[in-house]
Structure 1
Amino acid sequence: MDQDNLLKPINSATVHKICSGQVIIDLTTAVKELVENSLDAGATHIEVKFKDYGLESVSVSDNGPGITTGNYATLCLKHYTSKLSAFDDLATVRTYGFRGEALSSLCALAHVTVTTATADLSPRGVQLDYASTGVLKGQTAIAREVGTTITLSQLFAQWPVRYTQFKKTIRREYARCMAVLEAYGAVCAGTRLVVSHQTAKQGTASQMVFQSNGKPLWLDRIAGVFGPKFRSLLTSYSVALDEHASDADGSNRQNQSRPDDQPPSPGSSRIDGYVSLPRSGCGRSGTERQFYYVNGRPCDLPKVARVVNEVYRSYNPQQYPIVFLNIHLDPGAFDVNVSPDKRTLFLHDEARLQNRIRVS
């Protein structure tokens, strides 16, 4: 038998690089994963800093509890996570992250540096450096407050083809990343998100891109990210998805509720949020200001978006709506383990959801 035709296992280093390139596909995915780590850690202040649009580096800092010493060595190893231990846990997962792939994958695609301090060690912290395999290769004592900063340098630089494309489209990548960060800034109550950018021309000075306020009311958070003008353009939207809910006749309760003041009771399903008023001048020429969430998780829901646009354009055919909609579902009613970036979701009864939007 020809030895060249025999099936042979791929070595672990190659498997790691191949899989990592599928988990972290662009700048947006890389930054999103780090921000979600901070949110899952309970941070109330998160700062994202870009250098040269992320081409040189991007860092995410938070005031979370910090990383304990027992987790230094395993922090960037593949499939190490505190968020689930068995496949069945996916049915009840409520955190943004859960697979334990992101940091390990980032190590294969960039130079990763972590600085962290816990309450029992601060003001003494530690800087951790990781190899491309995710193995801890060194640590240095530093001074820092409680929290964690993860810095990615030279993202994709070791991948010639992807790096060439990355440099060519860096402005577009950066713009997409801003849109995703705005989605988190608008939805996350109790957490301030600050985004800044520094170019080579600016030297060490950074320019503020936007900051969220983390206020309790969703409309206040939207206005904090997109400006106070949005208040006058939006109307609240709230509709129950349960067949026997109090508004089962399909009527929404526009302007009668504040979407995130009262979360739905356990086991109930509903859509809450804001949509631009259905009149000329309140919408937009495109769909770039449409944000969809499932249980507060930013996601892509193209079928739902299509229905929302169809209904809105039946009233205002010249424009597309501004949309902020959060779909509250039981964790078992959707599957988030679909795509590497976790933005694609399978809704188990999406047709009924679309119909409720049409008749509301």
Structure 2
Amino acid sequence: MHTVSASASCHNNSQLPEMTSIHQLPPATAHKLSMGQVVTSVFSVVKELLENALDAGATSVDVRLDDFGLDKIEVRDNGCGLSPQDTAVMGQAHYTSKIRQLDDLGSLSSFGFRGEAMSAVCASCDVTVATRTVAEQAGRLVTLGPDGAVVSQKPVARAQALMAATAVSQPRLRLTLHHNGAQLLHKAPCDSAKTAAVQVLKSEVARQLQPLTLGDDLLRVEVLLPAVDAPPKVAGRSTADQCFVIVNGRVVNYRAVEKVLRRLFSDRHGLTPPKVPVSVVQVTVPPALLDVNLEPNKTRLLLLCEEKLLSLLEDGCGRLLPGAGTVDRADRPVHRAGRHHALLAADG
């Protein structure tokens, strides 16, 4: 209980400061005052963003700081991403996906639940979020204001990744990419996928890629994998952005191939969480064994000899990466030629 009483000292009101009437604080001021209890330092910003990544199911998180985090804090993760609907309110106070009512706290399994972290970060920092779910072809680059509201939003097209993959798949092609006057990619004509990869990736790992040829006249597979002694932290990636899968000259998203390479590479180096090696996989098959007409953008396909392809990769790449575990043929999933089953297998 709060009690207010008058006393004799109040008669000498000339000694008291002038009082103003009670008024409501502006929403922006009230927001900053309350959120200041959540974000008190660089440490607390990193903590909140790291816990967000873990709650999103991330198995890989990269944190980058400029001037110890006073200029910039960047957190990248491979979590589930945010849908367009969730993106619109992700910075708003007390919006959360963790609980719906107070009783839910009894079964809470997440780090966050109050819906205050992103709102608090927005109140103290300039915030930009790039996010994409697995169901989306392109993500969104979202700028949030001090109140957590979306200030601007634009699609993040994966143009640079597409250009890089195309450059590797077409060695004889000259290709450049510019953005806002800056050159992001330049590739001169060359005679091999390895030379093209070196030009595009500009890394020592690319220069040391080892070639491997598998298959027969019906199914030919040419693979470039990191050298066995390449540092796994450099030769492996948390995403498949430098794993180029090319089928009959066409760049495709082939999750089943990526999974095989991820497991073999990670087993070889004992990596937890697993990583995808910097690699190039070129597959050549007769057109009759290939259906690219699964969706309008033609980045997924139906390969009727997929079981043979995966077996070749398991055995051949397993030999090139000594120490990597292999899957017995009896334990491998059978990918029959049925259209629906093969579609699921190719998409992972």
TM band (smaller chain): 0.3 to 0.5
When Rg is computed on C-alpha atoms for both structures, the one with the higher figure is 2
TM-score (norm 2): 0.40
TM-score (norm 1): 0.39
Higher relative contact order (CA 8 A, sep 6+): 1
